[in-house]
C-alpha cells in the first residue's frame, strides 16, 4: 500500500477526480487482454490530462521509488500493462485529443489516448488513412499501439506502426520532456529516437504526443478466397503470389482446425475437409493495376489447385471476410481460455510452421488452431484450454515453448506484433543471445536507472 501522503500529493497534482483508489477500481486495472497472466492490482490509478502533469507524477514516483505503468486501452496481448510490482497505473484515456490534421503534409498530431479508429474517421474526410490496423483498431489507442509497435492485417503491403510514427513527445524517467522528429519526410538529426521508443513497451519513457504519417486512401480493391486440399498447395500459392510481383494488402491463412471450427460456429459453407484457406485482397489507386493484380492472384490460386472464390460486390466481399472475422471468436468459443501467440517466420517457411504447430498441438493433446498473416509470415497459433485444468495448462506451457523454438529454428522471431511484455520475456535470450539481452539492459538502465517505468516487462533485469 502506498502512503496516504503520496495519494494526497497525486490528488494535488492531477485533481481528485483523476485519482482512483477504491478496491473495485484497482481490480479494473489489474489485467489486460492477455490470457494466462498473473493479475496484479495497482496501488492507485492516475488519469493525467497534460504532459506537464505526467512529468510531475514521474518525478514524484521516482523520488519515492514507486513503479509507473503507462496504459492506453489495455488491449495488448503480452501482459504489457499489468502492474506487476504494484504502484501507479497511468491511464491515458483522458488525453484523447487530435491536435492537428495537416493534409498538406500528410500528417496528424495526436495525444496518446486517441483511439486508432477515431483518427481514421477524422482523416477520412481528407481522403486519407492511417494504415496500421491491429485487430483492436476500434479500441486501442495511438500511444498504446506505438508503445507496442502493433501490426495488423495490412502489414505486408503497408507496414506496421513503426513505419507511421514520424515524431513524438516523451517524458523520461528523469522527468525530462523531449520532442523529436516531426512533419518532415526526411530527418536524420540525432539518433532515430522514434524507432527507439516505438515498441519500447513503456519501459524507456512515456509517450505524451505523437506525429503520425497518413497516406491517400486506396480507391479500388479486389477480394478473393482460395481453398486448398493440402497445406503445401496453400504455401506454394503464397510464394507464387509474391513471385508474380503482387503485394496484396491482405494475405491471410487459416488451417484445417480453424476452418472446421469457423464452419461449426458460423455455418457459412466452408468445406471442412479443406486443409488451408487463403483470403487475399489487393488494393490501390489505379483500377487497371488492381484488376491486373487480382487476375494474377487468381491465376496463381488456380495453378496451385486452389478452389477459387472472388467477390464482385461489397456484399460478396463481406461474405468472404466472414470466415476470417470469425476465426478468433469461433476458436474462443471452444473453451474458457484462449492462448493466442504470434510466432513469426520468414514467408518461405509458412507451410513448415503450420505443420509444426499442428504437430505440437497433437503431441501435447491440445486443441490448437492456427490462422494469421501468411503474407508476412506472422502466424497466430491459438490454443483453447481450460484454466481450471492444471494439467492441461502445464501442457500448454510446454507447447508454447516448442512453438517458439520452432519459429526460431526457421529463422523467425518470438513476436511479430504482440510484443514481449511478461509473456515472452523468458524466451528473449533464445533469440538475442546474452549480448542482446545485455544491450537491452544497458539501454534500459541508461534511461531508467531506478527501473520505475513498467518494471517486469520486456527487459530481463535479474542478471545485471
Q: Is 112 in the site for other proteins (CB under 8 A)?
A: no
Q: Measuring CA to CA, which residue among 366, 235, 357, 208 is closest to residue 304?
A: 235
Q: 393: burial class by Cβ within 10 Å (0-12, 13-18, 19+)? A: middle
Query: Is residue 268 part of the contact set for other proteins (CB under 8 A)?
Result: no
Burial zone of 287 (CB within 10 Å; 0-12 exposed, 13-18 middle, 19+ buried): exposed
The only residue of 55, 56, 91, 344 in contact with other proteins, by rule CB under 8 A: 91
The minimum distance between CB 143 and other proteins, in angstroms, equals 14
Q: Residue 273 CA to chain centroid, in angstroms?
A: 31
Asked whether the beta carbons of 212 and 166 are under 8 A apart, the reply is yes
Site for other proteins contains 371 (CB under 8 A): no
Among 1, 4, 5, 24, binds other proteins (CB under 8 A): 24
- Does 28 bind other proteins (CB under 8 A)? Our answer is yes
Alpha helices by DSSP H, listed for 149-286, are 155-158, 193-197, 231-243, 256-266
Query: Quick one: which of 139, 319, 348, 367 contacts other proteins (CB under 8 A)?
Result: 139
First to last CA, the chain: 28
Count the site residues for other proteins by CB under 8 A.
36
CB of 77 to other proteins, least distance (A): 9
Assess 143 for contact with other proteins (CB under 8 A).
Answer: no
Is 335 a binding residue for other proteins by CB under 8 A? The answer is yes
In this structure, how many other beta carbons lie within 10 angstroms of the beta carbon of residue 319?
A: 16
Note whether 367 binds other proteins by CB under 8 A. no
Compute CA distances 95 → 219, 336, 436, whole Å. 32, 34, 35
Question: Which member of 173, 338, 407, 452 binds other proteins (CB under 8 A)?
Answer: 338
- Which DSSP state fits 453? B
Residue 97 near other proteins by CB under 8 A: no
The single residue among 122, 334, 408, 445 that binds other proteins, judged by CB under 8 A, is 334
**Edge-first strand listing for the sheet containing 367-373:** 307-310, 220-228, 276-284, 250-255, 367-373, 378-385, 337-340
36 touching other proteins, by CB under 8 A = no
Rounded distance, CA 150 to CA 210, Å? 15
If binding is defined by CB under 8 A, does position 170 make contact with other proteins? no
Say whether 72 sits in a helix, a strand or coil: coil
The CB-of-2 to other proteins minimum distance in angstroms stands at 18
Binds other proteins by CB under 8 A, chosen from 20, 172, 247, 432: 20
Mask: binding to other proteins, 47-66, rule CB under 8 A, as x and -? x-------------------
- Asked whether position 25 contacts other proteins by CB under 8 A, the answer is yes
Task: Provide the binding-site residues for other proteins, judged by CB under 8 A.
Answer: 20, 22-25, 27-33, 35, 45, 47, 73-75, 91, 93-94, 96, 115, 117, 136, 138-139, 328-329, 332-336, 338, 387
Amino acid at each position: 500500500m502506498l502512503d496516504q501522503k503520496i495519494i494526497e500529493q497525486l490528488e494535488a497534482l492531477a485533481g481528485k477526480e483523476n485519482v482512483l483508489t477504491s478496491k473495485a477500481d484497482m481490480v479494473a486495472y489489474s489485467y489486460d487482454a492477455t490470457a494466462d497472466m498473473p493479475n496484479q492490482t495497482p496501488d492507485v490509478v492516475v488519469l493525467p490530462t497534460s504532459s506537464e502533469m505526467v512529468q510531475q507524477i514521474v518525478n514524484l514516483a521516482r523520488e519515492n521509488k514507486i513503479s509507473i505503468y503507462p496504459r492506453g486501452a489495455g488491449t495488448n496481448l503480452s501482459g504489457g500493462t499489468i502492474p506487476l510490482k504494484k504502484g501507479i497505473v497511468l491511464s491515458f484515456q483522458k488525453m484523447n485529443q487530435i491536435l492537428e490534421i495537416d493534409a498538406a503534409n500528410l500528417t496528424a498530431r495526436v495525444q496518446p489516448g486517441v483511439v486508432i479508429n477515431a483518427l481514421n474517421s477524422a482523416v477520412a474526410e481528407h481522403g486519407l488513412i492511417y494504415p496500421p490496423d491491429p485487430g483492436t483498431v476500434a479500441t486501442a489507442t495511438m500511444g498504446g499501439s506505438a508503445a507496442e509497435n502493433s501490426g495488423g492485417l495490412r502489414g505486408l503491403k503497408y507496414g506496421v506502426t513503426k513505419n507511421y510514427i514520424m515524431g513524438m513527445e516523451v517524458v523520461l524517467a528523469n522527468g525530462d520532456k523531449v520532442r523529436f522528429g516531426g512533419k518532415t519526410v526526411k530527418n536524420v538529426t540525432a539518433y532515430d529516437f522514434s524507432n527507439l521508443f516505438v515498441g519500447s513497451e513503456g519501459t524507456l519513457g512515456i509517450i505524451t504526443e505523437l506525429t503520425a504519417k497518413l497516406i491517400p486512401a486506396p480507391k479500388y480493391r479486389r477480394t478473393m478466397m482460395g481453398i486448398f486440399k493440402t497445406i503445401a498447395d496453400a504455401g506454394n500459392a503464397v510464394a507464387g503470389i509474391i513471385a508474380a510481383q503482387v503485394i496484396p494488402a491482405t494475405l491471410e491463412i487459416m488451417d484445417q482446425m480453424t476452418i472446421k471450427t469457423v464452419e461449426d460456429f458460423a455455418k457459412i459453407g466452408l468445406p471442412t475437409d479443406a486443409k488451408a484457406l487463403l483470403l487475399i485482397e489487393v488494393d490501390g489507386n489505379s483500377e487497371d493495376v488492381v484488376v491486373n493484380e487480382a487476375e494474377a492472384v487468381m491465376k496463381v490460386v488456380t495453378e496451385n489447385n486452389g478452389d477459387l472464390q472472388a467477390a464482385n460486390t461489397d456484399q460478396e466481399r463481406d461474405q468472404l471476410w466472414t470466415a476470417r472475422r470469425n476465426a478468433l471468436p469461433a476458436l474462443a468459443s471452444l473453451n474458457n481460455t484462449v492462448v493466442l501467440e504470434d510466432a513469426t517466420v520468414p514467408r518461405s517457411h509458412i507451410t513448415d510452421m503450420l505443420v509444426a504447430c499442428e504437430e505440437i498441438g497433437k503431441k501435447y493433446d491440445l486443441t490448437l488452431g492456427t490462422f494469421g498473416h501468411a503474407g508476412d509470415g506472422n502466424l497466430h497459433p491459438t490454443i483453447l484450454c481450460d484454466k481450471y485444468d492444471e494439467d492441461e495448462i502445464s501442457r500448454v506451457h510446454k507447447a508454447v515453448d516448442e512453438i517458439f523454438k520452432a519459429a526460431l529454428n526457421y529463422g523467425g522471431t518470438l513476436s511479430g506484433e504482440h510484443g514481449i511484455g511478461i509473456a515472452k520475456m523468458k524466451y528473449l535470450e533464445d533469440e538475442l543471445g546474452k549480448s542482446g539481452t545485455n544491450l537491452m539492459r544497458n539501454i534500459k538502465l541508461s534511461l531508467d536507472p531506478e527501473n520505475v517505468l513498467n518494471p517486469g516487462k520486456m527487459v530481463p533485469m535479474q542478471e545485471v
